[in-house]
Amino acid sequence: MTALLPLVLLAAMAGAATLLLEQGGRRGYGWVTGSEFALAGIFLGPFGIDLLSEELIGHARLPIALGASWVGLGLGLRLRPNALAKAPGRHVVASQLEPIIAMLVLRGLLEAGIRFSGLPLSSIAAWALAAAGGATTRATLDWARAQRGARGPLTDGLRTLVTLDDLPPLFALAAIFALVPPHATRLVSAWQRLAATAGLGLGLAALVVLIVGRRRFVPQLAWLALFGASALGTGLAQELTVLPLAATCLCGAIVARSTRHADKLEEVTRSTQRPVIQLLLLLAGASLRGGLWTLVAAIGFALLRFLAKTIAGVAVSPLVSPRGLRVPSLGLGMLGGGGIIFAGAFSAALVLEPSIGTPLLAGSVAMVLLGDLVGPKALWLLLRGRGEVADPSAAGAPP
């Protein structure tokens, strides 16, 4: 029996429990991004009862890398021209500006925090953390729309924002990965590695498009092409020392623009995205290393992120707020940590040198956990203030 079996069974039981507890597919119990899995991971890992040992996590490196690439592919496929065309231009601009501002503010706050506390955090690690904290999860808004009946112009604006705001952090993460590759190759400069990421994404997209074709949609072929692209993309990216998630995301984005089956292809990845992220959260929780101070620092980072997101929200609110109405507290709707960027950060953290990987992993887990704790409540307050929650009395308390 292989060492991975207990892990698979555990993940299966956790997944089954989640599915049974969910109400008609909407997360009625548990947290919106599923960060209870991260908590379970922490409990089962070295910080807790040590059931998920370091050796076991080592065995799981392959599914982790593959899972992150799969999530990246889904993000790319989300960028379909027909979906983007429906969103107002200013919302799209805001969706790219907001994470950039959040990352810059967070980087500044981290710099100040490092100076104040004297933590031995390198500049590149601070950038990596800022990148991981830049994005927002879509799950919080999905929860508000499905569970609380949120409808209205602000909800629509936020929807565009949280759908597209993964891109700048992803690009930043890819650039950081290119700057500090885990092992040496003949690609000596970061630019060469970024170019290799683009080339790989293009090549994978060509394979997928040639298989899926423009004719009748065949689900079996879609699965084959997408799964094959994830596996091949991850393998090749690891050899080229580029971020696999960035390559598959680019592949997905090109495929979304090159085939008329993009909607159905996205459906293939969307249907599996949540369990994949949940499994990654479980493993990430169990992979946490370092002492108690690492956890405290990670929580500090998550709190700084809230501040950065709030500031970024203020900055872009003129672009997102309904006409004639300023919503300076827009950042409240974007406190949930991005699951996709978390997946990228986690897979990167496992291969990057520990001085970057350890804080990146701890920070990402804390960001998702605290984001899930605070994010839904904050969003609910924001939307209630604007009257976009359908029935405030029925809404009761948020999760």
Which residues make up the interface to another protein (CB under 8 A)? Answer: 1-2, 4-5, 8-9, 11-12, 15-16, 19-20, 25, 61-62, 65-66, 183, 185-187, 196, 199-200, 203-204, 206-207, 210-211, 213, 219-221, 223-224, 227-236, 238-241, 271-272, 275
- Shortest Å, Cβ 236 to another protein: 5
- Shortest Å, Cβ 5 to another protein: 5
**CA 360-291-288 angle, 5° bins:** 45
Contact 323, 78 (CB under 8 A): no
Judged by CB, which is closer to another protein: 82, or 185? 185
State the Cα–Cα distance between residues 259 and 253, nearest whole angstrom: 11
Long-range CB pairs of 312-319 (<8 Å, 24+ gap) are 312/98, 312/99, 312/101, 312/102, 312/105, 313/98, 315/97, 315/98, 315/101, 316/94, 316/97, 316/98, 316/101, 316/161, 319/90, 319/91, 319/93, 319/94, 319/97
Residue the block writes with tokens 């997946």: 343
- Shortest Å, Cβ 207 to another protein: 6
Judged by CB, which is closer to another protein: 65, or 101? 65
Count of C-beta atoms within a 10 Å radius of residue 4: 14
Judged by CB, which is closer to another protein: 223, or 293? 223
Residue the block writes with tokens 């994470």: 99
Judged by CB, which is closer to another protein: 183, or 216? 183
Residue the block writes with tokens 């991981």: 132
Judged by CB, which is closer to another protein: 239, or 353? 239
Judged by CB, which is closer to another protein: 152, or 213? 213
- Shortest Å, Cβ 337 to another protein: 23
Judged by CB, which is closer to another protein: 169, or 357? 357
State the Cα–Cα distance between residues 349 and 345, nearest whole angstrom: 6
Judged by CB, which is closer to another protein: 154, or 232? 232
- Shortest Å, Cβ 109 to another protein: 35
State the Cα–Cα distance between residues 307 and 104, nearest whole angstrom: 12
Judged by CB, which is closer to another protein: 66, or 288? 66
Reduced to 3 states (helix: H, G, I; strand: E, B; else coil), residue 386 is coil
Task: Classify residue 337 by its DSSP letter.
Answer: B
The string of DSSP codes covering 107-141 is HHHHHHHHHHH-----HHHHHHHHHHHS-B-SHHH
State the Cα–Cα distance between residues 360 and 265, nearest whole angstrom: 31
- Shortest Å, Cβ 64 to another protein: 9
State the Cα–Cα distance between residues 61 and 242, nearest whole angstrom: 16
- Shortest Å, Cβ 99 to another protein: 29
- Shortest Å, Cβ 274 to another protein: 8
Q: Tell how many helices (H) and how many strands (E) occur in the chain.
A: 18, 0
- Shortest Å, Cβ 40 to another protein: 17
